[in-house]
Amino acid sequence: MALMAALCLPLFAALLCWIKPLRGFAWVVTVTSLSLAFAMAVFTASRVLEYGVAVGIPQWFEADALSILVILLVSFVCSVAAIFAGGYMHHGSQQSRRLWWFYCNYNLLVFALIVVPACASPNLAWVGVELVTLFSILLVGFEGTPTALEAAWKMAILTIMGAPISLLGFFVLYWAYHMGGGGSLETWRGLSTSAAAMSPNLLKFSFLLVFVGFGAKVGLAPMHTWLPDAHSQAPTPICAVLSGIKTTVPLYAILRLLSIVLSSSEARIGNWMIIIGLFSVGIAALLLLQVRDYKRMFAYSTVEHMGIILAAAGFATREGASGAVAQLMNHSITKSLCFYSAGAVLIVLGTRQIQDVRGLFKLSPFAGAALLLCSLAIAGAPPFPIFLSEFSILSAGLRSGHNVAVVVLATLIVIAFVAIFLQVNRMLFGDPEPASTSAAVPRSVRTAILIAAVPVVVLGVYIPGPVHSLITLAAQQLGGH
Amino acid sequence: MVLSAQTQLIDGLNALTAGLILLTAFGMVATRQVQGVLRFFIVQSLFLAASSFLIGFNRDSIHLIALGVITIGAKVVAIPLVLKRTLPDELYERREINQVINIPVSLLLALLLAIAAEFIVSPLVGISTDPVVHVNLPIGLAGILIGAYSLVARREAIPQLVGILAMENGAFFAGVAIASDLPLIAEFAIAIDVILIAVVIGVLTRDITRTVGTTEAATMSELKEEPHLWR
């Protein structure tokens, strides 16, 4: 029941935001309902830890460890982003009259984001992923400026084009499932139990189609070009959701399908995933070296992390899978913090150019400290959670014998680390330009940053027992041997 | 014996609709008029529904009959209506003057894509003995590839949208053959999703025409990759 509540709360909130007398309270409604959804997700997670699976509607909405982990991330990031939006949107938006519309659309986006992991059926998960794409397109273009609309248009064409391709992929998957003697209702669980009976050729063909279709949405190179545009032009709370969660959710579907394909046929597909993942990491690391806009910088870092997760899943071992799951979680919580800090800097200085930001520590110690913390965390410095998960991914790669891939991956991670630090260093230290004026950081923005920083700081030094067992269980779902 | 003759007739008719769907896909590539592209799409959706009825009749599947009705409702009625309401009339009267690649070459490329689709799926269709699968899967994939091509080659917003929708038609044309007993809820949700695609792109196009004044995607190039790496 709690699962259905977590699913329906954002939908209900969207309805409330749309009703005319309540439009003034859209922010309150959104924050309340999303925090409730997070509480429901935590409750569901406790059930999953106890029974292994939480059932909303049997065969339709079910959550195992991997999906409840994604639901937890979605509800956490989205509720904090909603808090952040309170101060940010009222401060910076040109469209303050249409804010109710923003929150309505935002709640619909959160609903779609929860649908994908909550669905037991791959076909409905496809519908969820498409809804996520559609709702986020309108939010990217929300400001209505020519550049924002251009970013939204690019994103629309590149990501919606994947929809029919992945749809055919899911049709072929269904076909393979039926030819392999599966039952009438296709579920992720049913697929993984009958993977051995399915035709490997059909499975591979279906995976290829889904990978091409969803890979564009994840932002894997070379289909990543929409991502930095959208993430630099969208309102900052949306960037946090897009980078932290919206890229993760299609990746979740890819990982699910990948584990099924890997369990049925030989590991060649895994090697391809490593190559494609490394390619994304490489492109992102090079682009990070010469980026000029700090929101774009964090966007490229998302491309990098998506590549790392894909490569880790490609190792096709249990350790690789648990590294991938941990990285997925750590990326979501850290990257959303990055965008909140970037939003704070944008409020303080009003510019997105790295070269125009000097001496941030002197202008606003709070924004400076937040930026320093999040860029240390996202680049993978110890003692932050991303360091731990990247380390475990590298060691998993060594143990499964992918030595070359590990060396390349480690080199690229170091390049990205150095690149992020060169850029942030210029922004944080030194003397501010005399002419620069600074605004104060609104209270809700401060609150959001403080809340988002808690898991980033804590999970690096201490992983609570339930979180650890959730990750282990989720890695089991992804299989590996 | 009579039954088998009937089955054969229906398979033949289905193959005919497959050919017509491919023909309408070529038609979309060859048409310059925005309105004309949209008309070709509506006709193609009707053929898709026809194929769904034929196979549904053959397999006694109420699902496929319902899918045909859903297709007509979504793609023949709802989507043109949605576009009519969101978009200003003058967009429909446009002609595309500067395509990236001219029409004869485009048609040739579309033909090559259709042949490629046949080759890609030929190792896969052997799994099934159903003649419908042998017809629908390659033609459906060809529809997807040709739609993707017209998406890349077109510059006006509406033909690009129709390219996406035509890709969706291709996916469904393969789907009616290979995933015929998909739960109806899933198919309904997919249809809603297709309508939403039209709504979102329609609204976005309207906003772009208002603020930027053009819907030629090629003229929008404010945002670029960081210049000195790609130049």
pLDDT tens, position by position, A374-430? 999 999 988 899 999 999 999 999 999 899 999 999 999 999 999 999 889 888 887
Which pLDDT belongs to residue B150?
86
pLDDT tens, position by position, B65-77? 988 999 999 999 9
- Average pLDDT (A270-284) is 94
pLDDT tens, position by position, B207-231? 888 887 665 555 555 565 444 333 2
Which pLDDT belongs to residue A169?
94
Minimal Cβ distance to A202: which of B124, B174, B220? B124
- Average pLDDT (A176-190) is 81
CA angle A259, A261, A267 (to 5 degrees): 90
Three-state DSSP state, A465: helix
**Sign of the CA dihedral running A122, A210, B172, B166:** positive
- Nearest CA to CA, how far is A464 from chain B (Å)? 39
Minimal Cβ distance to A141: which of B140, B168, B204? B204
Q: How many Å separate Cα A175 from the centre of its chain?
A: 30
Return the percentage of chain B with pLDDT > 90, whole number. 35
Beta carbons of B144 and A164 less than 8 Å apart: yes
Question: Does B130 or B94 have the greater pLDDT score?
Answer: B130
- Average pLDDT (A257-268) is 81
Beta carbons of A157 and B229 less than 8 Å apart: no
Question: Does A233 or A71 have the greater pLDDT score?
Answer: A71
pLDDT tens, position by position, A109-156? 999 999 999 998 898 899 999 999 999 998 998 888 888 888 998 899
Tokens of A407: 């060396």
Minimal Cβ distance to B186: which of A121, A184, A225? A121
Rounded to whole angstroms, the Cα distance separating B181 from A236 reads: 43
Question: Does B101 or B220 have the greater pLDDT score?
Answer: B101
Which pLDDT belongs to residue A221?
83
Q: Are B173 and B138 in contact (CB under 8 A)?
A: no
**Residue A481 pLDDT exceeds 60:** no
Beta carbons of B186 and A291 less than 8 Å apart: no
Closest of A72, A65, A116 to residue A253, by C-alpha = A116
Q: Are B91 and B209 in contact (CB under 8 A)?
A: yes
Least confident of A283-287, A289-293, A368-372, A447-451: A289-293
**Residue A92 pLDDT exceeds 70:** no
Minimal Cβ distance to A291: which of B123, B201, B226? B226
* B 5-44 residues inside an 8 A Cβ radius of A: none
- Average pLDDT (A62-86) is 93
For an interface test with A, which of B130, B151, B169, B193 has the most A Cβ atoms less than 10 Å from its Cβ? B193
Which pLDDT belongs to residue B35?
86
Residue owning tokens 């690649």: B101
Instruction: Check if B1 contacts A (Cβ < 8 Å).
Output: no
Domain map (residue ranges) of chain A: 2-477
Which pLDDT belongs to residue A368?
92
Which pLDDT belongs to residue A282?
95
Instruction: Check if B138 contacts A (Cβ < 8 Å).
Output: no
DSSP designation for A56: E
3-state secondary structure A329-376: HHHHHHHHHHHHHHHHHHHHHCCCEHHHCCCHHHHCHHHHHHHHHHHH
Which pLDDT belongs to residue B229?
34
Highest mean pLDDT among A85-94, A361-370, A431-440: A361-370
Which pLDDT belongs to residue A31?
93
pLDDT tens, position by position, A2-27? 899 999 999 999 999 998 888 888 89
- Nearest CA to CA, how far is B221 from chain A (Å)? 8
Which chain B residues have a beta carbon less than 8 Å from that of A167?
168, 171-172, 175, 190
Minimal Cβ distance to B171: which of A137, A146, A168? A168
- Average pLDDT (B6-24) is 91
pLDDT tens, position by position, B155-181? 778 888 899 999 999 999 999 888 877
**CA distances in angstroms from A279 to A272, A276, B46, listed in the order given:** 11, 5, 43
Which pLDDT belongs to residue B228?
35
